[in-house]
Structure formats: structure tokens, C-alpha cells
Structure 1
Amino acid sequence: MGEASRVTGRFRGTFDVLHSLTYFAPETEAALTGAGLRPGRMTYFAGRAAPMGAVSPGVVAATFYNFNPDLVAKYIPRAWTLAAPEKIIEARFEAVDATLTRLLGKDTLVSEQVAEAAELAREATGGCQVDGRPLYAGHADLAWPAEPHLVLWHAITLLREHRGDGHIAALVLNGLDGLSALVSHTATGKGFLAAAAKASRGWSDEQWDGAAAKLRDKGFLDAEGGLTEAGNDLRERIEDATNAASTGPWEHLGEEKTKRLHELCGPLSRQAVEAGAFPANVFATGR
């Protein structure tokens, strides 16, 4: 296995932490409500979708994939009447700046380590493919920030959304809609509890049970809700396809630089986690 393949398989633990921590930061809620949004889920949906413009709830549900479209429609498009996407994007970067300053400290943010990581991560995005990746494409059209720590965050965001769009393509190819993908992922035991997944994604018990019944009929779940051998094979195919669709940036960056970026970002991610970036139940909520 080459370095590109190894990195795509461990993306969440090394790089994604530095992006996803913003969803749990009080600075994000403060900045986006300060821009005019209502607190709660609206800040998540609008904050992440804003780079695509004032899109419809259907577009947000399609690109986020495993959220109940009815839940999305409670906040989108109303969010765009409260704050323009451009204003939301500006507030989001302000929140990232404040969050990383709190978690990592100013000395770290102006360090050679962060500057080097930012340069390498930005270079890696040169290998991202825009075709068929709408959420990535919206973020890729944004202007690059000037400060190295914001460049690093934006680059990792691009890599994350690029990977996410590829993951959705793999789910579609393997016949899983958003809810079925969520139910089968929860059954792996890798990050989700069913109750938290239903609550955070807006699915009722009836909807969840209906999706689980269909997966059982197809032989992917057993009577207890666990994955069958066929179900495990399905999830492995999806992960393999996701990783295969995500190697472009790392092949573009090259093995030596990819390894170096991993070495630089690992300690930053650990520092952020140790500073309290995530609540204790973060992996149970699966946000």
C-alpha cells in the first residue's frame, strides 16, 4: 500500500480533527449568530453550505446526504433571509481564527510548523478533482485566506469535502440512500450510537426501523441489527471506493511531502483534542 492510500484511510484521525473541531466550538455559534443566523442546527447547515450560495434545502440535503430532508427544510432557505452566504462565510473564518487561537495558542499558529503544514496542505489540494463534487466545488471557489493557520484549515476543509463527495458517490454506487448509509454505518460500531444518530440527523424511530428492515431483507443486517458478512463486505467496498476516489491530492503531493504533512498535523490534532476541542460524547454524536 502506497503512502497516498494509507493517508486516505486515516484521514479522520490526522487531518479531519483540525476541520471538524469548528462544529463544536462556541466561537462558531457566536460568530454565525452574530451574522444573523439562529443558534443551533441552522448555524451548521448554513455555515457548511454557504460556499455553494443560497441553495435550496434539497441541495443541502443531497450534498450532506444522511440528514432527514425535512430537518434541513426547517432551516434552509430561511437562513439565507437572515444572513447572506458571503456574510456567513466571513463569519465562519472569523470563528476558525478564534477557535484555533484558543485551542492551539498564538505561538503555535505563527510557528514554522503551521506555516509548513499550510503550504503542503494547500499544495495537496492541487490534486483535487472538481468533477461530480458539488460541495467541494463550492468551497474550492472561495478565495484563499492570508494567515497560515487559516490556509491550513481551508486546505483541510477542501480535502475533507472532496473526500466526502467521493464517499457519497460510493454510497450511491452501492445502492445506499442517506438513511440506509447511516443505519449501516451505525451497525459497524465505529463512531455512531443509533439513538444519537437518529437525533442528530433528524430521523424518527419508524423511519430508522423501516430502513433497517430493508437492509435485513437484502441480507446486510442480522436480526439483532448487526452487520452480516454481506453487510461487512458492503461497508468495506464503500470504504475502499472512498479511499480510491480520495488519493488524488496525496499522489499530487507525493509520498515524501505527504508523510511530512502527516507528521506536522498529527501533533496539532492531538494538541487540539487535549485542549478540549470536542465534547466527551463526540464520537457517539457523529456530527
Structure 2
Amino acid sequence: MTYFAPETEQHLTGVGLKPGRMSYFAGRSAPMGAVGSAVVAAAFYNFNPALVGRSIPAAWSLADPSDVVAARFASVDAALRRMLGDEVLTSPEVAEAAGLARRAAEAARPEGRPLAAAHLSVEWPTEPHLVLWHALSILREHRGDGHIALLVDAGLTGIEAIVTHVASGKGFLLAFAQASRGWSEDEWGAAVAGLTERGLLDDQGALTAQGADLRNRIEADTNRVGFGPWAHLGADGAARLGELGGTVVRALLAAGCFPPEVFPARR
């Protein structure tokens, strides 16, 4: 939810960053240190590198990465307090969820997973709701790093990955995906044409059977290579975290944490 909360930009601009895309690129990559735009584009994968280059490395001349990390935690704290309230955040259920999520996150192996490794190196916060959020951020980046490795193996470039994801109907809506990732109409159209030639998209831009099979295989393999933390937590622990976390997620959705123009399932 942090990528859609207004508190994020408020706190990150408060430490010197410019409003807009810089908050996203710098906020998410800050645990890696003052890396260049090529590194951020490679790690994030489906963003136009030119878009990344408008914010990175300029961000690091405006704010130290450690200050950005601290501001990001502060923004999450403010956003969660606004949407959930102190009663929920200080509940035994959130504390239990935080403990379970941290156990899973600390079992994440960093090898070959640069964003997960970077977030694992960040000092843990103390408040349970921030522990829960940080643990989930680590798990998210751990899964994402593995997903990118599989996209590379499948021969999908960054733009082809986001095009096929949109075509699956399970991700971002087209207009948001194209604009937020910084791809022009021509670039998007060229990617669609290439995927159509490969037999992954049909003439209407929808996934073919071959394309759907590829996306399904990538998702299944992403789950497989990212299963380590959950195996460490165990079936009962994972089920309990899902139960506890589901309550929090439903409350966040009810509070409008995701804008309706982003995800088709939440319109």
C-alpha cells in the first residue's frame, strides 16, 4: 500500500527528494545505497530505463539513502495509522502476524536476489506493524527477484513482461501500466508486435494459448523458487499468517488504499 499512500511522497520530499516518480525509485532502491540508474532499472526490470534515469542518481544528491529509508518507515507508520487506527496496530493479532512474517523473511536466502538482500540488510524496526510491513517488503522483493530471473529465462524483456502481464488480466490496467512504467505508444506497440510474431499474443493483443501457458509456468515457477521462507515457517505458521494478514488486508482495501484505476479486480 505504501506506493499509493499520499504519506509516502510527503515524508520522502520532506528529506529532500523531488515529488513524483523520484519518491518511488529512490524509496524502493534506497536499501541498495546510492546506486546508479542502470542498476535500479535492472533490479526493477519492467520500467523504461529512461524514466528511471530522470530520478536516479539525482536523488542521491538530494537525500542520503539512509535518510530515505528512515522516511519510508515514517510514511508507512503514518499511512497505517490513518487507515487502520492505533487500536488495530497495537492489537495482539498484528503483533503475532509480525512475528510470523519476520520468521519467514529472515529465512529468505539472498543469493542472486539483489533487492531482497538489500532490504534484508536494513535494521529491523521495533513497532509490530512496522516489523510486519518490513517483513512483507523483504518477502515481496525476494519473490520479485526470483520472478525476474524466470522472465529472463523465458526471453521476456522488461517491456514484454509488463505487456504480457497486462494481457493476462491479472495485473495492472493497460493505461496505468504503460504510463507508470514510462513506455511510449510506439514502444508498447513494438513490444506487442514482437510478442504477436512469437505467437504469445493474438491479433487482439490477448494472450494466446502459448502465451497463457508461458505466463502460468512463470508464475508457478516463481512460487516454487520463492517457497523457502514459507517452508521455514511451516504450513501451520503460513496458514496463521494468512488468516491474520487477511484481516489487515481487508481493512486496508475498505479504507481505499488502492486507487480503482490501477487494478481491474478492485474497480
The aligned residue for residue 225 of structure 1 is 205
Deviation at 1:194, TM superposition (A): 2.3
The aligned residue for residue 96 of structure 1 is 76
- Greater RCO, CA 8 A, separation 6+: 1
Q: Which stretch has the larger CA shift, 190-199 or 219-228? A: 190-199
Out of 1, 6, 20, which is 1:40 matched to? 20
Write the mapping of 1:20-31 to structure 2, written as runs, cut at 5 A.
21-31=1-11
Closer, same or farther in 2 for the Cα pair 1:26/1:278, shift >3 Å? same
Give, in whole Å, the separation in 1 of the partners of 2:140 and 2:11.
Answer: 22
1:221 aligned partner, one-letter code = L
Q: Which stretch has the larger CA shift, 150-159 or 208-217? A: 208-217
Give, in whole Å, the separation in 2 of the partners of 1:46 and 1:166.
Answer: 21
Deviation at 1:193, TM superposition (A): 2.6
CA contact (8 A) 1:36 1:82 kept: yes
The aligned residue for residue 111 of structure 2 is 131
Write the mapping of 1:197-208 to structure 2, written as runs, cut at 5 A.
197-208=177-188
Percent of aligned positions that are identical? 58
2:34 aligned partner, one-letter code = A
The aligned residue for residue 151 of structure 1 is 131
Deviation at 1:213, TM superposition (A): 1.1
Deviation at 1:115, TM superposition (A): 0.6
CA contact (8 A) 2:173 2:262 kept: no
Deviation at 1:277, TM superposition (A): 1.3
CA contact (8 A) 1:127 1:251 kept: no
Say whether residues 1:49 and 2:36 are aligned partners: no
Structure 1: give runs of 5+ residues left out of the alignment.
1-20
The aligned residue for residue 3 of structure 1 is none
Give, in whole Å, the separation in 2 of the partners of 1:276 and 1:205.
Answer: 30
Give, in whole Å, the separation in 1 of the partners of 2:162 and 2:125.
Answer: 34
Q: Which stretch has the larger CA shift, 268-277 or 44-53? A: 268-277
Give, in whole Å, the separation in 2 of the partners of 1:191 and 1:71.
Answer: 21
Deviation at 1:196, TM superposition (A): 2.1
The aligned residue for residue 8 of structure 1 is none
Give, in whole Å, the separation in 2 of the partners of 1:80 and 1:221.
Answer: 40
Deviation at 1:125, TM superposition (A): 1.3
CA contact (8 A) 1:187 1:225 kept: yes
Give, in whole Å, the separation in 2 of the partners of 1:192 and 1:118.
Answer: 28
Say whether residues 1:111 and 2:91 are aligned partners: yes
Write the mapping of 1:174-253 to structure 2, written as runs, cut at 5 A.
174-253=154-233
Give, in whole Å, the separation in 2 of the partners of 1:232 and 1:59.
Answer: 30
The aligned residue for residue 248 of structure 2 is 268
User: Could you report, residue by residue, the CA deviation over 1:196-220 in whole angstroms, capped at 9, with x for unpaired residues?
Assistant: 2111110011111111111111111
User: Could you report, residue by residue, the CA deviation over 1:105-148 in whole angstroms, capped at 9, with x for unpaired residues?
Assistant: 10111110011000010011132110100011110000000111
Q: Which stretch has the larger CA shift, 73-82 or 188-197? A: 188-197
CA contact (8 A) 2:97 2:245 kept: yes
Aligned residues: 266
Give, in whole Å, the separation in 2 of the partners of 1:90 and 1:277.
Answer: 22
Say whether residues 1:282 and 2:267 are aligned partners: no
User: Could you report, residue by residue, the CA deviation over 1:226-270 in whole angstroms, capped at 9, with x for unpaired residues?
Assistant: 111111111011101111111111100011111111110000110
CA contact (8 A) 2:106 2:120 kept: no
1:253 aligned partner, one-letter code = L
Say whether residues 1:259 and 2:227 are aligned partners: no
CA contact (8 A) 2:46 2:159 kept: yes
The aligned residue for residue 67 of structure 2 is 87
TM-score (norm 1): 0.90
Q: What RMSD, in angstroms, separates the aligned Cα atoms of the two structures? A: 1.3
